[in-house]
Chain A
Amino acid sequence: MTLWFLLGLSASSLLTSLIYVLLFLPFEKTQGVVQKIFYFHVPSAFSMYAFLILGAIMAVFYLIDRRVIYDHISKAAMYTACLFAGLVITSGPIWAKPIWGVYWTWDPRLTTTFIVFILLLAYVFARQVLEDRERGGMKSSVIGAILAIFAVVDIPLIHFSVRLWRGIHPAVLKDPHGLTPAFARGLQVMIMSVFLLATLICLLIFKYLQLKQRVEQLNIQKLQQTERNLSS
């Protein structure tokens, strides 16, 4: 019920925000229409940060307490972060080609984001492969938790890379004259909508993991009952 409500809320908020930024906000003077990619590129990056941090916090909790629910929250958050990192890494080059003349350059921010994306992909593959080998095993959760903590360390590097190494990636949010009030408002509504979408995806993954565990438990119970019936 909550999920359906969230789905409706997320869809309507995303649609309204997109109509606002695409139809009501003016084109940027030098970049033109392609600047509008910024309205989902930046919110996707923020969502990636937020869910990566959540994933790492829950991974620490899991390593301390070993409760399955922490592992499920961490896994759902990390998968969501991976999806949004994918959005950031594909939308960036689409914007860059007409503005910089190239799809990709080894700028510090691009490189650090690419490293995080690779770490998130490694997380997803590691979890899938290890769980296939040892269903319900602890090895996959522990390795996942370590990878999540390792990936979150890169966030400050991405964030401060523009200042630290002076790359060509724009840093309009830190510049006081970077965004006009209208553009900033557009960005704020899109951040809220994209974050809502990311939350919905994370909740769905979490629910999927919980249900999968429940099915496994019920199957084991059923098997034990059949064995008891056969022996009696």
Chain B
Amino acid sequence: MNTYVHFVMGYIVFWLIPFFMLAYLITKVRKLEKEVKRLDDSK
């Protein structure tokens, strides 16, 4: 197979895995921050 295909595949993996991880973590953290604020306000 063409070495360019492997090069592109490699960089797609490198961008996709951390990108999805970051996006997932930021969403989770923001959701929990809102939850903490809600619970703190309701005290």
Contacts and interface: CB of A to CB of B under 8 A. Distances in A.
A218 B14 contact: no
Nearest to A79: B21
Nearest to B22: A201
A91 B8 CA distance: 11
B32 A211 contact: yes
Interface stretch (A30-38, A110-118, A121-129): A30-38
Contacts of B40: 218
Contacts of B32: 208, 211-212, 214-215
B17 A83 contact: yes
Contact of A94 (B9, B18, B25): B9
Interface in A195-224: 197, 200-201, 204-205, 207-208, 211-212, 214-215, 218-219, 221-222
B21 to A, nearest CB: 6
* Category for how many chain A residues contact B: 35 or more
* Category for how many chain B residues contact A: 20 to 34
A215 B35 contact: yes
Among B11, B14, B26: residue with most chain A CB under 10 A: B14
B13 A91 contact: yes
A34 B32 CA distance: 41
B10 A94 contact: yes
B5 to A, nearest CB: 9
A86 B16 CA distance: 12
Nearest to B35: A215
B6 A200 contact: no
A46 interface: no
A204 B29 contact: yes
A95 B18 contact: no
Contacts of A98: 1, 3, 6
A32 to B, nearest CB: 5
Among B4, B10, B26: residue with most chain A CB under 10 A: B10
10 contacts: A34-B10, A40-B10, A40-B11, A40-B14, A41-B10, A87-B13, A95-B10, A97-B1, A212-B32, A222-B43
Interface of B: 1, 3-4, 6-7, 9-11, 13-14, 17-18, 21-22, 25-26, 28-29, 32-33, 35-36, 39-40, 42-43
